[in-house]
Amino acid sequence: MKKIGEAALALVLCLPAFSGPAVAHHSFAMFDQTKITKLKNVTVVRFEWTNPHVFVVVQSGGTTYTLEGSSPAQLKRTGWKFNMLQAGERIDVAFNPLRSGKPGGSLKLVTLSDGRKLEAG
């Protein structure tokens, strides 16, 4: 009986180690998923191919937008590459805006200057 109690205690103590990654992932409630904002001919400022989410920072009319995409693994499956976007490149973007009204959102689609469309979310 003592061994069962010790095993149960060890299991309870180990549970937080396995639940951490799930808790760390944030909700998408901060984005208004009922709206799509489209910006044409924006300039890529920065492209961050990082886990857990890829970020595309663009500038349009003096305003800088930080757009969050899916994970690198998910984007790679849809045709993205780590060097897909370069600073200074002109693209079109579509995204779910932030509910706060700040310039940014959840990236949904990028249209490259050659017309290729890349889904991002």
Output the pTM of the full model.
0.77
Backbone phi, psi, residue 12, to 5°: -60, -40
What is the rounded average pLDDT of the residues 52-58?
96
Note the pLDDT of residue 28: 74
Q: What is the pLDDT of residues 75-117, one digit of tens each?
A: 999 999 999 999 999 999 999 999 999 999 999 999 999 999 9
**Residue that has been written with the tokens 């757009």 in this structure:** 67
Distance CA 89, CA 92 (A): 10
| Cβ 66 vs Cβ 55: under 8 Å | yes
Pairing of strands 104-111, 63-68: parallel
Model confidence at 35: pLDDT above 50: yes
Ordered structural domains, the chain, with CATH: 37-119 (2.40.50.1010)
**Token duo for residue 105:** 């959102």
Note the pLDDT of residue 2: 57
